[in-house]
Amino acid sequence: MLLFFIGLVFGVISGMGIGGGTILIPALIFLAGISQQAAQGVNLAAFFPTAVFAIYLHIRNGYIRYRIAFYMFLSGSIGAFLGAMAAACISTGVLRRLFGIFLLIMGIYEFTRGGGNKRQK
């Protein structure tokens, strides 16, 4: 039941385009007791089907900028390969700290940036 709830929250956050891994990875580590590398692997495996459904809805609503998405797909694929190779070589403790630093930086950015609920199309 716990894993179902974690997956449900992950799916909602992923579907919104916020980044479900920021919820899924810590939840799997702290609540399900798996390693950082395993949590990241589960995150990647779970991301694919959620992305397919979210992409369909975002295409239907006209929110995809195809040229930008194409470049992000190409460069992101290269980055994902390099990142997966690096994650396999880094200890769990270091990987966990790097992920924590990333989340901290993103949290500080979100709290300090200006703006509001501006919806762009």
Instruction: Decide if 118 is inside a domain.
Output: no
Residue 40 lies in a domain: yes
Within 18-91, strands assigned E span none
Cβ count near 26 (within 10 Å): 17
pLDDT value at residue 54: 84
Assess if residue 55 is contained within a domain: yes
DSSP annotation of 61 reads: T
**Residue recorded with tokens 């810590």:** 26
Whether residue 119 is contained in a domain is answered as no
The number of domains in the chain is: 1
Three-state DSSP state, 5? helix
Domain that holds residue 71: 2-112
Please check whether residue 97 lies inside any domain of the structure: yes
Instruction: Return averaged pLDDT per consecutive 10 residues of the chain, 121 residues in all.
Output: 88 78 89 90 88 89 94 94 89 89 88 68 52
DSSP class per residue in 51-90: HHHHHHHHHHTT---HHHHHHHHHHHHHHHHHHHHHHHHS
117 lies in a domain?
A: no
pLDDT at 106: 84
